[in-house]
Structure 1
Amino acid sequence: MEFRPLCAFVEVVRQGGFSQAAKTVFVTQSTVSKAVKQLEDEVGVPLLDRIGHRSVLTAAGEAVYRRGVKLLADRDDLLAELDEIRGLKRGTLRLGLPPVGSSTLFAPLFAVYRQRYPGIEVRLIEYGSTQLAESLRAGEIDFAGALLPTSEEFDWQTVRREPLVALLPSNHPLATRRSVSLIDLKDVPFILFESGFALHRVIIDASRCAGFEANVVARSSQIDFMIELVSAGLGVTFLPRMIATQRRNTTIRHVSLDEPGAEWVMAMTWRRDAYLSGAAKAWLDLVREIHGEESLSDYSKNE
């Protein structure tokens, strides 16, 4: 059902006749008559009983008028809502972020985004990289924070590059060095994130490239717990430098990790060629505004 004939019919009923309705909608009386006749032809029954110069609603006309008023009101509400969405007064942004580094990297972006677009609802989930990639692939979220390199099916914008550091007990023989390689640590037990975290993959892959299989004695999703295990002398763990420096502990030492390819590069990723809502485009614009100077040239999507 088209809205134009319905609108004309509703105005005829509201105004009490065709001539007054024509003045209200700024068209000729014949145009209004044709529109009402078109609506009657579409529904298959008369809507108005024309008695002289008067028009009285039939039973069908009463039903169409009652529902029509609601349909037109809903249409107006929809158009107003779409205008608000296009103007970023309303909408939803769905973000997936990893637990590692999110508070430091993305909290300032959230603050700016909320200030600019207070009517946008932000729906946030926190998972490891594997689950975030699955959610992004399924279209359950608009963006996911992920370490590079990432899947070729995603596009990205780099957010932060950080060197990795090894966290060792302060009494460990290697704790006094300025830097260590993974081969230096091959006999030290590894304390890593759970396998669903990208940093787990980075360390395991780098160890294999260095020619050995890491002896992983503990896995966790909690940074503070991993640091406590290091402090207790259980082994070594690895963190981006910016996160490690936020968690100073006198019983551990931070030693730079000198290993090719072992770098923590956080990016905002989204499905290639996916539709991005106005709210999503505004978030991406903000990420590029703040972090757009980051280089993408060192990474291949299908590495």
Structure 2
Amino acid sequence: MEFRTLRVFVEVVRQGGFSQAARTVFATQSTVSKAVKQLEEEVGLPLLDRIGHRSVMTAAGEIVYRRGLKLLADRDDLSAELDELRGLKRGVLRLGLPPVGSSALFAPVFARYRQRYPGIEIRLMEHGSTKLEDILRAGEIDFAGLLAPMSADFDWQGVRSEPLVALLPQDHPMAARPALRLTDLSEMPFIIFDEGFTLHRLVLERSREAGFEPTVAAESSQIDFMIELVAAGIGVTFLPRMIATQRQHGQVRQVTLKDVGMVWNMTMAWRRGAYLSGAARAWLAMVGEVHGRPDAPPPAGG
């Protein structure tokens, strides 16, 4: 079984189709189809059930996909270890950062890292936490900025903990209160992050724990847009206090939430047991240096 065909199959599943996978692996759709067919012939079982324009994994496909992710990640770890053993002077750091909070938390780390280690190439991608988890689990990045708690598949180092605050229209009766509970807001429409963000799940789970199912007026990935909707009187939204303070709006008021668990815990996460290159360990130490955590790098290998 070749890593090339395995990578193509994994991308077909992850991207949701042959044409999307072809763009990701920089190949033609015909090449991608042939690679998947070759893999099916090697396995001796169909891996995908093609239904119209959609492809659904068979039972065999699910096994190959699950095992394939680990094989590909282990291959990357092997290359990283051997490169370091050869005394590679120039390294690569692969980062996945979320749109929420990265400018305040990680831009200073990024700048200091580049200044100290100019020979390290930094490859950066930005997604919501849900997609970042998938990409990190697949071994395609070294670190991801994720919110705790998270999957046991990952180890992590804390970066910042901030309470969530409610943002209400300034003329709303509850906007003048010093603090609120979620139940006080149960009759208001909620403006929340979309499903790709951990904050989406957190707000809905805490609301249900409080005994109500919120009415969702809008979902978005754009903080400024969400704040403008609040200013227009559409509903209430929730942001980490640090970010809400940075995005002051004349028509919006920030109110503290008293509910337990309405906390934004940002971490720097990596695959449990993964080999961490010198460039990766230097980044983790830099995060600790900038944010006041112990700056000793973890031992190689995790």
Q: When the two structures are superposed, what TM-score results if normalisation uses the length of structure 2? A: 0.68
Q: Identity, % of aligned pairs?
A: 65
How far is the alpha carbon of 1:115 from its aligned partner?
A: 1.1
How far is the alpha carbon of 1:284 from its aligned partner?
A: 1.2
Equivalence for 1:200: 200
- Change in CA separation of 1:209 and 1:287 when aligned onto 2, cut-off 3 Å: same
Q: What per-residue deviation string (whole Å, max 9, x for no partner) do you get for residues 51-102 of structure 1?
A: xxxxxxxxxxxxxxxxxxxxxxxxxxx999943x3xxx41100000000000
How far is the alpha carbon of 1:201 from its aligned partner?
A: 1.0
Q: Say how many residue pairs are matched.
A: 213
- Change in CA separation of 1:271 and 1:81 when aligned onto 2, cut-off 3 Å: closer
Equivalence for 2:265: 265
How far is the alpha carbon of 1:289 from its aligned partner?
A: 2.9
| In 1, Cα distance between equivalents of 2:220 and 2:170 | 21
* Residue 127 (str. 1) matches residue 127 (str. 2): yes
Q: Which amino acid aligns with 1:122?
A: I
| In 2, Cα distance between equivalents of 1:270 and 1:216 | 33
Equivalence for 1:100: 100
* Residue 166 (str. 1) matches residue 145 (str. 2): no
RMSD of the TM alignment (CA)?
1.8
- Change in CA separation of 1:150 and 1:262 when aligned onto 2, cut-off 3 Å: same
Q: Which amino acid aligns with 1:107?
A: A
Equivalence for 1:214: 214
| In 1, Cα distance between equivalents of 2:250 and 2:287 | 36
Q: What per-residue deviation string (whole Å, max 9, x for no partner) do you get for residues 223-248 of structure 1?
A: 00000000000000000011011111
Equivalence for 2:64: none
Equivalence for 1:112: 112
How far is the alpha carbon of 1:292 from its aligned partner?
A: 5.3
| In 2, Cα distance between equivalents of 1:91 and 1:268 | 19
Q: Which amino acid aligns with 1:236?
A: V
Larger Rg: 1
How far is the alpha carbon of 1:293 from its aligned partner?
A: 3.7
Secondary structure at the aligned position of 2:246 is classed as: coil
* Unmatched tracts of structure 2, length 5 or more: 1-81, 295-302
| In 2, Cα distance between equivalents of 1:251 and 1:290 | 34
Q: What per-residue deviation string (whole Å, max 9, x for no partner) do you get for residues 189-223 of structure 1?
A: 00000011011111111001101111111000000
Equivalence for 2:256: 256
* Residue 229 (str. 1) matches residue 236 (str. 2): no
Residues 146 and 266, structure 2, Cα contact 8 Å, conserved in 1: yes
Q: Which amino acid aligns with 1:123?
A: R
Residues 287 and 293, structure 2, Cα contact 8 Å, conserved in 1: no
Equivalence for 1:50: none
How far is the alpha carbon of 1:277 from its aligned partner?
A: 1.2
Residues 91 and 119, structure 1, Cα contact 8 Å, conserved in 2: yes
Secondary structure at the aligned position of 1:150 is classed as: coil
Residues 158 and 292, structure 1, Cα contact 8 Å, conserved in 2: no
| In 1, Cα distance between equivalents of 2:106 and 2:154 | 20
Equivalence for 1:291: 291
Q: Which amino acid aligns with 1:227?
A: I
Equivalence for 1:65: none
